């Protein structure tokens, strides 16, 4: 009888401890899904985007969408929803497929009109399910080098609420601006303010817990008729559930949505690749180095490119190094 009582006490304490652990660290255990918002009509890039999706416009030697997709893959996010217009989605899907050749899962959904960034969470409600989610904008390009490990470490911390990334810029009035104190406590958010309270712009890479769908549905369209990402982040701020990660010095962040920015991105990536001999946004290489695919699967991928392709030559170099 005494043994039975001792066992009962042990299992009661064990179950209580498990419950406390799950409540406290539930967000660590949840998978992080990814969304690439590749919508919009690409008006700022006309007439280029009259005949091609903005996300398939080449940035140096590969389509633009390769860069945000590779960022999610480097963050170990392998279940990804790509949202684009009904006109552009077929060509994006034709280019990327279902992701199985890269060891990831790609799904697709339409955004019929440019109704704002938060609509991505409403469109992706079933995809998100009970998981946390990372959203990256399809025209945002990052170059981080060894600083990436700093971002990865910060992102891997428990997620309760939302995490936004901030980058120091010289012209903050062009962006959403975040103000924070020395302890990185967020104090305010403003959308393209005339008198910015800081030089830190909110970049197009966001991390949210599962309440993001509910919060997105609570938003009202702004004067320009869209759901605003700043309004969504404000909801988290009001509930004291918004944290900020500052991108380290030496990080480059580009919004490649204008001809000038597209040129800047191309020149930057060209310079980095020529000097380092390493490619940015190379999906096949990322998949191999992250262990998503085997060396044999990687070798098979190289065969889709014709002999004489500079890109294929690089992939074969990677193969020989492994």
Domains and CATH numbers, the chain: 29-160+204-221+234-294 (3.90.550.10)
What pTM does this model have?
0.87
pLDDT recorded at residue 224: 87
Residue 19 pLDDT? 44
Instruction: Give the span between the Cα atoms of 114 and 39, in whole angstroms.
Output: 7
As a whole number of angstroms, the distance between CA 293 and CA 207 comes to 26
| Between 6 and 106, the higher pLDDT residue | 106
Counting Cβ atoms within 10 Å, is residue 166 exposed (0-12), middle (13-18) or buried (19+)?
buried
Task: Show the CA angle centred on residue 212, arms to residues 37 and 207, nearest 5°.
Answer: 60
For residue range 58-115, list pLDDT tens digits in order: 999 999 999 999 999 999 999 999 999 999 999 999 999 999 999 999 999 999 998 9
Mean residue pLDDT across the chain = 87
User: What is the tens place of the pLDDT at every residue in 159-205?
Assistant: 889 999 999 999 999 899 999 999 999 999 999 999 999 999 999 99
pLDDT grade, residue 145 (50/70/90)? low
Q: What CA–CA distance (Å, rounded) separates 228 from 231?
A: 5
Average pLDDT on 139-143 reads 90
- Specify the pLDDT at position 146: 60
Lowest average pLDDT, out of 29-38, 48-57, 143-152, goes to 143-152
């Amino acid at each position: 009888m005494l043994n039975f009582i001792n066992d009962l006490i042990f299992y009661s304490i064990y179950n209580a401890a498990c419950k406390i652990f799950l409540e406290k660290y539930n967000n660590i255990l949840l998978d992080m899904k990814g969304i690439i918002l590749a919508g919009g009509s690409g008006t700022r890039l006309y007439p280029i985007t009259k005949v091609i999706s903005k996300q398939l416009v080449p940035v140096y030697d590969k389509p633009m969408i390769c860069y945000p997709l590779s960022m999610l893959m480097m963050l170990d996010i392998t279940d990804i929803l790509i949202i684009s217009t009904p006109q552009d989605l077929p060509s994006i899907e034709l280019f990327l497929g279902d992701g199985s050749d890269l060891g990831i899962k790609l799904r697709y959904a339409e955004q019929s009109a440019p109704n704002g960034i938060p609509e991505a969470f409403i469109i992706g409600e079933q995809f998100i399910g009970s998981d946390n989610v990372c959203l990256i904008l399809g025209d945002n390009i990052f170059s981080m080098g060894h600083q990436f490990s700093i971002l990865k470490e910060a992102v891997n911390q428990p997620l309760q609420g939302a995490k936004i990334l901030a980058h120091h810029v010289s012209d903050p009035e062009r962006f959403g601006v975040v103000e924070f104190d020395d302890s990185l406590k967020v104090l305010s958010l403003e959308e393209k303010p005339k008198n910015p309270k800081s030089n830190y712009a909110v970049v197009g890479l966001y991390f949210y817990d599962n309440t993001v769908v509910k919060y997105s549905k609570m938003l009202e369209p702004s004067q320009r008729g869209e759901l605003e990402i700043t309004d969504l982040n404000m909801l988290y701020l009001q509930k004291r559930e918004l944290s900020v990660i500052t991108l380290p010095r030496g990080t480059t962040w580009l919004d490649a949505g204008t001809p000038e920015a597209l040129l800047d991105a191309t020149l930057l990536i060209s310079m980095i690749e020529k000097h380092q001999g390493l490619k940015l946004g190379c999906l096949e290489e990322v998949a191999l180095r992250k262990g998503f695919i085997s060396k044999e699967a990687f070798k098979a991928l190289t065969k889709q490119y014709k002999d004489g392709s500079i890109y294929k030559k690089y992939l074969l170099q990677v193969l020989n190094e492994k």
